[in-house]
Amino acid sequence: MSLIYRYILTFITITLPIVTVFGQSDFVSSLKKNLANYNPYYIEAKVESTTTSEHLYPKVLISEESYTLTQNAISYYDAISAMPTETKTAILKAHSEVAFAAQKSGLTYPGEVLWLPFAISAFNKYYEQDGNCGFWGLQYLYAIKYGVEISECTDGRHDIMQSTKAAIRQLEYFHEKFKKWDIALAAYLFGPSNLKLMQVQGKQTSEIYTSLDPYGKNIFDIWCAVISWAENYKNSKIEIKEIELQYDTIRISDRIHIEQISKVMGISINELKSLNATFSCEVIDGRRVPVTYRLPAGRKNDFATLHDSIVKYNDTIYFPPPKPPVEPQNYVVEGNGDKIIYKIQQGDYLGKIAQKFGVKVSDIQAWNGLSNTNITAGKTLVIWTGKKPSASSQTSQPKASSTTTKPATQSSSSNSASTVTFNAKDYTLYETYTVKSGDNPYNIAKRYSWATADEILKWNNIADPSKLQIGQKLKIYKKK
């Protein structure tokens, strides 16, 4: 009967436009890979198959709703049927763990719903697609709504127990709202607002799935295909043994990379990840809020004993110290550090530049032959920060020649801070210090063993120490 049905459906399909995307080989490849890496967390299942030959059921029931397999769904059924026995056994085992989690949830649900992780994620606990995550492809807001624990570094959507309970509740809600499982699944995967928009546009359910992304449009067909295939195994004997979870719980209140725990304590990364399946980060940061973490049973005291060694193990590699701020490369120092070739930045004005270098606006105008205060971003200015020509001697000079010679006479703007020699080439910028209430150059200098108050004043072109202002930024240099 199934063969005749296939011939009829094939004939019908040939006469209509083909709108489905066939991705059976990619799906089967992903499924085999996921099952090969699948480690049961809550149960161990032993499967004894009672089926020797598989039969295609062209119509499947989801709850009390009947759905006819499309040609695309039949192609997926054939792909499942062609899998080796060990893969089929692994499918039944993975499904058993989903069923166990659903049973523990205490909710009511149609049994066919429990095959959705096969269709959505191909039994991949770490599946991610367009914001859908985990075994059930849960969206973030739905997961939070139904109590899944999600934080900066934890995601309960990777946990079968948490995600199964949330997914069943969300699917039941959409089924109650839209009355049909094919439409409820579309709302679950792609959002009710997108679904309603398509319905307003008059699209039928088949058209809605056709308009989805290449993988998403196949999910309902895959679901029907696996339900049809699983009908052959409904009487299979599957023995379930609940895994007794044994682990120690610790509280981490500092910052630790899981590789530090692994290397010092001799625990494999895979074991740590298996015990902490909901962790999506490799760094456990409990500095703000202590983090609960799991270790193999009997290792809690070892962690306490080795704590300092764990934190210090390759700490500069896992958590390199921050680099000091880099001085912006918007000017070039020439000669012995007195002459500056400054590149005008967006938002600059002469008063701002004069304050930056501790000079007068009128001097900048004279040194550069400027008749007004208009300047243009990208152009350069010559600025003298040490010995410089007087403004009056420059007014009659062309702009080009005003930058070529440095006079020997010292400006009247020289101050006590300028007695300290500062050659920028010999220094690196260590950090920028923000002046606080009660600060003066002398108590600021005490923070830096290599710096004096006079040097700090010189570095920042400050003539009068009493004019320090709260919030003012001071550059602190250190000799190379």
pLDDT-wise least confident of 83-87, 251-255, 384-388: 384-388
- The pLDDT value recorded for residue 6 is 40
Q: Does 45 share its domain with 174? A: yes
Structure tokens at 217: 């449009």
Last residue of a domain, one of 242, 276, 291: 242
- Could you give the C-alpha distances from 245 to 44, 238, 271, in angstroms and in order? 12, 21, 13
Summarised one tens digit per residue, pLDDT across range 61-109 is 999 999 999 999 999 999 999 999 999 999 999 999 999 999 999 999 9
Between residues 439 and 409, the one the model is more confident about: 439
Identify the CA nearest to 159 among candidates 288, 46, 245: 245
Are the C-beta atoms of residues 439 and 471 closer than 8 Å to each other? no
Are the C-beta atoms of residues 391 and 359 closer than 8 Å to each other? no
Quick check: 363 pLDDT over 80? yes
Looking at the chain, the whole-number percentage of residues with pLDDT higher than 70 is 82
Question: What would the mean pLDDT of 236-242 be, rounded to a whole number?
Answer: 92
470 pLDDT band (50/70/90 cuts)?
confident
Question: What would the mean pLDDT of 183-191 be, rounded to a whole number?
Answer: 88
Q: Does 402 share its domain with 442? A: no
**Is residue 210 classed exposed, middle or buried when 0-12, 13-18 and 19+ CB atoms within 10 A define those classes?**
middle
Bridge partners, 474 (sequence order): 433
Q: Does 52 share its domain with 131? A: yes
296 is in which domain, residue-wise? 247-318
pTM of the predicted model, to two decimals? 0.59
Find tokens 């040097």 and name the residue.
Answer: 455
293 pLDDT band (50/70/90 cuts)?
very high
Q: Does 19 share its domain with 51? A: yes
Q: Does 78 share its domain with 179? A: yes
Q: Does 141 share its domain with 20? A: yes
Identify the CA nearest to 415 among candidates 353, 361, 462: 462
Q: Does 258 share its domain with 345? A: no
Give the range with max mean pLDDT: 175-179, 365-369, 386-390.
175-179
Find tokens 């139904």 and name the residue.
Answer: 146
- The pLDDT value recorded for residue 17 is 30
Report d(CA 65, CA 297) in Å as an integer.
Answer: 47
- Could you give the C-alpha distances from 80 to 73, 75, 83, 86, 310, in angstroms and in order? 11, 9, 5, 12, 47
Are the C-beta atoms of residues 38 and 89 closer than 8 Å to each other? no
Domains of the chain: total: 4
Summarised one tens digit per residue, pLDDT across range 203-217 is 777 677 766 655 578
pLDDT-wise least confident of 27-31, 210-214, 348-352, 418-422: 418-422
**Is residue 454 classed exposed, middle or buried when 0-12, 13-18 and 19+ CB atoms within 10 A define those classes?**
middle
3-state secondary structure of 99: helix
Last residue of a domain, one of 274, 302, 318: 318
Residue 456 parent element (H or E): helix 453-459
Structure tokens at 317: 């590699």
Q: Does 222 share its domain with 343? A: no
Report d(CA 214, CA 26) in Å as an integer.
Answer: 12
Average pLDDT, the chain: 81
Structure tokens at 140: 């973030």
Q: Does 237 share its domain with 251? A: no
CATH code (residue 81): 1.10.530.10
Are the C-beta atoms of residues 71 and 13 closer than 8 Å to each other? yes
Quick check: 20 pLDDT over 50? no
- The pLDDT value recorded for residue 143 is 93
- Could you give the C-alpha distances from 182 to 102, 127, 128, 179, 320, in angstroms and in order? 21, 22, 22, 9, 51
Provide the b/e sequence for 353-377 (b: ≥16 CB within 10 Å).
bbebbbbebebbbbbbbbeeeebee
Are the C-beta atoms of residues 451 and 441 closer than 8 Å to each other? no
- Could you give the C-alpha distances from 83 to 24, 86, 88, 121, 344, in angstroms and in order? 12, 8, 7, 18, 69
Find tokens 């009672």 and name the residue.
Answer: 50
Instruction: Tell me the angle at which helices 71-81 and 24-36 cross, rounded to the nearest 10 degrees.
Output: 40
Question: Count of residues for the chain?
Answer: 480
CATH code (residue 470): 3.10.350.10
Q: Does 230 share its domain with 260? A: no
Structure tokens at 424: 């920028």
Which residue stretches of 240-281 are H helix? Answer: 258-265, 269-275
CB atoms within 10 A of CB 346: 6
CB atoms within 10 A of CB 208: 22
Q: Does 120 share its domain with 179? A: yes
Report d(CA 291, CA 278) in Å as an integer.
Answer: 13
CB atoms within 10 A of CB 301: 9
Question: What would the mean pLDDT of 350-368 be, rounded to a whole number?
Answer: 86
Last residue of a domain, one of 268, 296, 318: 318
Report d(CA 364, CA 357) in Å as an integer.
Answer: 10
Q: Does 296 share its domain with 353? A: no
Report d(CA 142, CA 197) in Å as an integer.
Answer: 20
